DNA sequence: TATGAATGAGTTTTCATTCAT
DNA sequence: GATGAATGAAAACTCATTCAT
């Protein structure tokens, strides 16, 4: 069972959370965390609600107090995990070298961070990969389930990206389309290479991937 | 119910097929065709074996004479449909213009053919898209379910591609990786644009797609 | 949500009710009223305690402070509503014509009042009809849930009936049995005609109903 | 478990039934019979499908091969049992005395047969009574579940009734409405008297019942 | 080969009731 | 008294798979 922890009992209005509020938040997190681990262990279709509540240590009925059904739960997990991965990748892009570096180096660091994330957790890849795409952004931006914090983080991801372009004096017609194209490119080719070793191993493919991304940047530059 | 038809009762050894052989082949085809239509109508998970046999007009038990289970059936369908689409795309690439044309024009025609295939059948896209990838090729090449004919067709797809490169004096280190990268690129970005209109409509995205593919070709050229 | 109102805060001992007492009475009424509206909207079996407390605007646990369970609640509702309908019917019987009228005319007015009550609210009919019977009287007379006021009203219904017979010099062996027979007769045939249009519409059936009641009165006359 | 018996394996087309056909018919009957006994023992709402299949000795899924749900099953049972009771009552009406008897005597025998049926099985009464009404006739007449035989038997009930009227030279405007009125009258007052002893015991009430029916016959006579 | 009735484990979902706050 | 989060037993229904015919 994934540990329940809540170091900062402050609710979204900045007020101190009541014991009940804290408890509810923990139950919700317990469900999310344990469902996630089950999804990547057994796959979404093979995970039952019974599995989830058992591992989370709550009663069956409790599940339905927090989520409409298994799909509702999945949507939230995919969104949260995708943001996590992207933030990590951006972090990597900015900090990979201490001294000033070219845009190309930054992009390579960005894509490698995503790929390593997946490689380190092949199981996670199967669950997230095909969902880590532009759709995630719109989903969170519009969903009334996602809280303010989630939305903020998405904007962070995008703004970070813009900042990096700016620092490198890179200009293009539509940065959104550029980011979208890059993410889809990394994700789709990386998936095949990691999961299927097709058409070759990830290590063999990486140079092609970097070269490909570089060329896309050039192609969309004004 | 999709009609069962077999205009050419010749088996894979080139012999005239017996009535029994023809019958068996028809049953198999009926299952494949009707399962396909159900998968794109209701989705794979929501289609039951009962649904399939009902629509195919055969008994439940008969299903298990031809396929191990629903997954076995799906694999074969994805493979067949993917090849169909790729062949059509290559046909388009070669014949789009009558007079000699550049490689870039050919590639654009190739990718557009795939995208139009999907746009014309959004439902099919949901089922095939994420499976139309390099994995398909290996699957068919190795599967003991797929017959000689399927394998031949795959080689055709690849050989056609090589021929086009050759005609245009295009040389690269590994044509397989090039083809793989292109297919994944079209498929992943096209899916998002068609299904989700994200980050923009397909029509708005197409120029970016063409430019992207062109740049990839250049990047991998020796 | 049905409005909670209590214009006359006097308790059953004639004393002015405390704020707490008023509050409790209002909660109870809110539960009764909203449960009733739900029962006729969705049926008894399809109404949950959650539905009731939600609409009544009280907490789940509060329900159990006032009623043992859903059945307890239903019994009280049926009794209250039945009395309401009967009183209305008697009122109609007495006041339908201003000048002196025959017993037959009075009885017709009585039965029509009940039928119109139901016709105006087909939904109510489904819930009440099969319960509007002699059993109701005994239930209230004996129940320790029902208060003094309810019991009084039942006696009123019966005494009114006796008075009408008396005014018309009608004598029979057992007026209770007569009233019982008449009520069951109206209720059972009326239900079928209104709900099922079987064997004919209520309007077509009414003359038969009146003739039937008239004949029953004659049959039981001494 | 109610015994499965089938003495005459002839299907509705007059053909000899195959072993499979016989088996299916027996399964269906086992479900009907055992569900019925459970309904009158525990009530409809308190009987689960598990209860039914356990007692019938078939698997859970088998239930759904024969009935849509519990309500579908109930409808068929009510219809069958109602016809049974009515046929028995008519039999009694015709044969109660060997010598020629008056219509009044016949009617009394008819109503007494229904009442005795219920009295002998108070439990059955709770389940059937409120459903033994005109609605049953229309239900069966229209239902596509009921077979030809059921429909025939209903016509028998009605034709028998007409025959008895004819033998006694009784004429009325609408025999259907007469039969409807009588059945509802017996059923509603009898229910109260048997189940609730309200307003008095059945034995005490019977003379009133007979007198009431007699008066209704007179009232509707032309 | 082909059938389709039968199976029953497995899954989702509901909801009356409790009880700590 | 009032609350409402939590419970978990219980119910309906599904469906892949088998096997006697």
The DSSP line for D42-61 is H-STT--HHHHHHHHT--HH
D9 touches chain C (CB under 8 A): no
Integer Cα distance of D153 and D91 in angstroms: 13
Residue D77, number of CB atoms within 10 A of its CB: 20
Residue D3 pLDDT: 45
Give the residue-averaged pLDDT of A80-104: 74
**Which residues are paired to A67 by β-bridges?**
none
Q: Say whether residue D196 is in contact with chain C using an 8 A CB cutoff.
A: yes
- At residue D10, φ and ψ (nearest 5 deg) are -120, 130
Q: Rounded to whole angstroms, how far apart are CA atoms D222 and D216?
A: 12
Q: Evaluate if residue C96 carries a pLDDT over 80.
A: no
The closest of C185, C188, C191 to C215, measured between CA atoms, is: C185
Mean of pLDDT values over D56-67:
95
CA neighbor of B181 nearest in space, from B129, B219, B222, B126:
B219
Q: Mind listing the pLDDT tens digit for each residue in B118-175?
A: 777 777 777 776 655 565 555 555 555 556 666 677 777 788 888 888 888 899 999 9
Task: List residues bridging with A172 in a β-sheet.
Answer: A221
For the CA of A46 and the C1' of E10, the distance in angstroms is 12
Spell out the residues 6+ positions from residue A132 whose beta carbon is closer than 8 angstroms to its own: A78, A82, A85, A86, A183, A187
Residue C6 token pair? 């209590």
Residue C12's closest CA among C155, C159, C160, C151? C151
A143 CA, F2 C1': Å apart = 34
pLDDT at res. A5: 45
CA distance linking residue B38 with residue B53, whole number of Å? 11
Q: Which nucleotides of E are covered by protein (CB under 7 A)?
A: 1-21
Question: Residue B79: pLDDT band by 50, 70, 90 thresholds?
Answer: confident
Footprint of strand E on the protein (CB under 7 A): A 19-20, 46, 48-50, 60-61, 63-64, 69-70; B 20, 23-24, 27, 58-62, 65; C 46, 48-50, 60-61, 63-64, 69-70; D 20, 23-24, 27, 58-62, 65
Residue C34 Cα, gap to closest chain D Cα (Å): 23
Interface test with B, best of A108, A208, A211, A214 (most B CBs within 10 A): A208
C218 touches chain D (CB under 8 A): yes
Cross-chain Cβ contact A133/B187 below 8 Å: no
**Are C66 and C27 spatial neighbours (Cβ–Cβ below 8 Å)?**
yes
Q: Considering only CB atoms, which chain D residues are within 8 Å of C199?
A: 134, 176-177, 180
Predicted local distance difference test score (pLDDT) of residue A4: 45
In what helix (H) or strand (E) does residue B20 lie, and over which residues does it extend?
Answer: helix B19-42
Phi, psi torsion values for D6, nearest 5 degrees: -155, 95
Interior CA angle at C40 toward C37 and C43, to 5°? 120
Tell whether C84 is within 8 A of chain D (Cβ). Answer: no
- A160, C68, C156, D126 from C137: Cα distances, Å: 77, 21, 12, 20
Q: Which of A72-86, B7-21, B151-165 has the least mean pLDDT? A: B7-21
Nearest CA to D131 among D171, D176, D91, D71? D71
**Cα C222 to Cα D166: distance, rounded to the nearest angstrom:** 32
Residue corresponding to tokens 């299952």: B31
* Cα first-last separation, chain C: 52
pLDDT at C117 over 70: yes
How far does A196 lie from chain B, in Å, by closest CA?
Answer: 7
Q: Do chains A and D touch (3 or more CB pairs under 8 A)?
A: no
Distances, alpha carbon B49 to alpha carbons B27, B70, B76, D61, D63, in Å: 15, 7, 16, 16, 20
Task: Render pLDDT for A26-78 as a digit per residue (tens, 0 to 9).
Answer: 899 999 999 999 998 888 889 999 999 999 999 999 999 999 999 889 888 88
Q: Which helix (H) or strand (E) holds C24?
A: helix C19-42
Q: pTM for this one?
A: 0.77
Residues in Cβ contact with C2 at an 8 Å cutoff, skipping those fewer than 6 apart: C30, C33, C34, C37, C55, C56
Hey, is the C-beta of D201 within 8 angstroms of any chain C C-beta?
no
Contacts of B21 (CB under 8 A, 6+ apart): B9, B11
Q: What is the pLDDT of residues C142-153, one digit of tens each?
A: 555 455 666 677
Whether the bond into B143 is cis, omega within 30 of 0: no
CA dist., res. B128 & res. B138, Å (int): 16
For residues B54-63, give the mean pLDDT.
95
Between CA A47 and CA A69 the distance in angstroms is 12
CA nearest neighbour of B187 among B139, B131, B141: B131
């Amino acid at each position: 069972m994934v540990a329940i922890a809540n170091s900062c009992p402050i609710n979204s209005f900045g007020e101190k959370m009541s014991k009940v509020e804290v408890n509810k938040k923990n139950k919700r997190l317990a469900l999310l965390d344990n469902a996630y681990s089950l999804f990547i262990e057994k796959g979404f279709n093979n995970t039952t609600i019974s599995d989830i509540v058992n591992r989370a240590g709550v009663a069956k009925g409790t599940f339905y107090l927090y989520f409409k059904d298994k799909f509702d739960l999945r949507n939230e997990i995919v969104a949260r995990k995708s943001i996590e991965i992207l933030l990590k990748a951006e972090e990597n892009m900015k900090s990979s070298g201490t001294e000033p570096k070219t845009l190309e180096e930054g992009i390579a660091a960005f894509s490698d961070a995503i790929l390593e994330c997946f490689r380190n957790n092949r199981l996670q890849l199967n669950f997230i990969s095909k969902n880590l795409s532009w759709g995630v952004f719109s989903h969170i931006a519009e969903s009334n389930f996602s809280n303010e914090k989630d939305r903020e983080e998405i904007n962070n991801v995008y703004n970070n990206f813009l900042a990096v372009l700016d620092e490198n004096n890179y200009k293009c017609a539509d940065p959104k389309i550029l980011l979208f194209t890059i993410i889809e490119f990394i994700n789709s080719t990386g998936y095949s290479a990691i999961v299927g070793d097709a058409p070759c191993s990830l290590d063999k493919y990486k140079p092609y991937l970097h070269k490909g991304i570089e060329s896309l940047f050039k192609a969309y530059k004004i």
